[in-house]
Structure 1
Amino acid sequence: MMPRPAEVKQTLDLPPGYTLVALRELGDAFVHGCAIAPEAGAGTLVWVRRYDLVEFAVVLEPDEPLLSARRAFFAGMNAVADAIAAHCPPEREVNFDWPDAIRFDGGLLGGARLGTPADCAEDDVPAWLVFGVILRAADMAHVEEVQAASGVSLLSEGFEMVDTDAIVESFARHLMTAFDRWNERGFEAIARDYLERLPKRKAGERRAIDANGDLLVSLPAGSGPPDRNSLVDALARADWYDRQARGPKFG
């Protein structure tokens, strides 16, 4: 029996340094996070109390120009994947589609977005960033059966209802760990973790994340300059996101 929304836990156990802002079911964590970020400050985590989606956003305050600060997106993606992996059934894989889609056991589970101040130039240090996530927790009741079969949800893949909130709590801890790792070992450690979950398109290709967050893909020596995949352009498309349904696409 599927628990009713009112039965979902009403608070989260977050590590020190986080401030929880909880919204009702119709709230939009990402939009709300961007709206309150200038006053709310770093560590504010906006969470929507829903049973069908895991939806949250966290405010960050970088200390470098926007051009390179966007790379915080990859630390966030790693933290989401680590949180899912910590609660998933054994022998299941969490992978990415460049740069923002999250797949579980091959099916599209959700994705992430990055919000930045509209008036921030590339060479300026942004006052804030917002990293937002939506994961499909349960099969959507209003979606036709054939369409729903092409997607995956946490509950349909063996997670428990209690795991949906625990994933947000786990994300908060893993994000702190990711930034500690960045500070201690440099961004290359973050890039390496991210690229391990990004399937290769061709055998032998080499990948790297540039200083501005672009994905560089090269084949063995002598094959010319690497292909550049723009992070900014891909985040703007958000191919995983259904804007009308305000949730992950199916497929």
Structure 2
Amino acid sequence: MIESPQFPPLLTGEVVPRHTDPFDKAVSRAVAGVDSGTVFYSEQDDTLRAALVLAPETPLEEAIQAVYVAQIGLAESLGALAPPEVPVHFQWPDRIKVNGALCGSVRFASDVSDPKAYPNWLVIGIEVPFIPRTDQPGENPDETCLYEEGCIEITPMALLESWSKHTLLWLTYFLDSGFERVHNEWRPRCDTLGKMIELPRPGTFVGLDEKGRMLLRQDVMTETLSLIEFAEHV
């Protein structure tokens, strides 16, 4: 029997049926008016799937910066639970990398898409594989899972507990201090910063601006890409 995770104050957990996507459940409950701070999760052995509902009090262009907070929360929780030699990095806008290979992602959705609009809700989901998706070793060399990286002592529920605590801590920092502190923590963990990238568009990833938008240089032109463009439509 899987032990129920313990959530920090201000967050509450709600388990979903095994074949239900916690992200989809969180969105449907957010539309219906569920309390901010509710974490929907699935009790699976092979993958951590969870989604946090937030009720921002700022325009979407600021609220969407909480996606970086969730990424930092995941990196810090893996750092606390995984062996010390296991590096965790980000690939903008939504990928998590462990030891240089893709090992999970974040998802996000809101009820508005206008950067200046005030959302009623924002849902941020995470997915982290624990066991290989295929029984053919090396079939997807750019992908990995936690067990292949030596994290055999970690369970999905333990990672969920840790993620909720670290994410809540960084949400507090974000609300108190704004994006700068989040940015300073996120930037060193992004391993494509300053490099040529192909996705989401070709160019040089210069960095993030004060609103958390990607600065992408193509020849002499620099354009901005917002996380809002990569939010899921509901």
TM tier, smaller: 0.7 to 0.9
Separation in 1 of the partners of 2:190 and 2:30?
30
1:152 to 120, 144, 156: 144
**Corresponding position of 1:82:** 76
1:231 to 204, 227, 230: 227
Q: What's the TM-score, normalizing by structure 2?
A: 0.85
**Corresponding position of 2:187:** 195
**Corresponding position of 1:11:** 4
**Corresponding position of 2:119:** 126
**Corresponding position of 2:201:** none
The answer as to whether partners of 1:209 and 1:216 remain within 8 angstroms in 2 is yes
Name the amino acid aligned to 2:49.
E
Cα deviation per residue 1:98-140 (whole Å; 9 max; x = unaligned)?
A: 11100000111010011111x5643221111000000001123
Which residues of structure 1 form unaligned runs of 5+?
Answer: 1-6, 238-251
Q: CA deviation at 1:159?
A: 1.5
Work out the percentage of aligned pairs sharing the same amino acid: 24
1:137 to 103, 108, 130: 130
Are residues 1:110 and 2:104 paired? yes
Shift of the 18–236 alpha-carbon distance from structure 1 to 2, 3 Å rule, reads closer
Q: CA deviation at 1:182?
A: 1.7
Separation in 2 of the partners of 1:207 and 1:67?
17
Q: CA deviation at 1:169?
A: 0.6
- CA RMSD, 1 decimal: 2.6
Q: What's the TM-score, normalizing by structure 1?
A: 0.80
Are residues 1:169 and 2:165 paired? no
Q: CA deviation at 1:59?
A: 0.4
Are residues 1:24 and 2:17 paired? yes
Are residues 1:66 and 2:60 paired? yes
Separation in 2 of the partners of 1:31 and 1:165?
19
Name the amino acid aligned to 1:226.
T
Separation in 1 of the partners of 2:11 and 2:195?
41
Separation in 1 of the partners of 2:141 and 2:116?
45
Separation in 2 of the partners of 1:95 and 1:87?
15
Separation in 2 of the partners of 1:177 and 1:224?
40
**Corresponding position of 2:27:** 34
The answer as to whether partners of 1:139 and 1:148 remain within 8 angstroms in 2 is no
Shift of the 206–150 alpha-carbon distance from structure 1 to 2, 3 Å rule, reads closer
**Corresponding position of 2:213:** 214
Separation in 2 of the partners of 1:185 and 1:123?
20
Q: CA deviation at 1:143?
A: 5.2
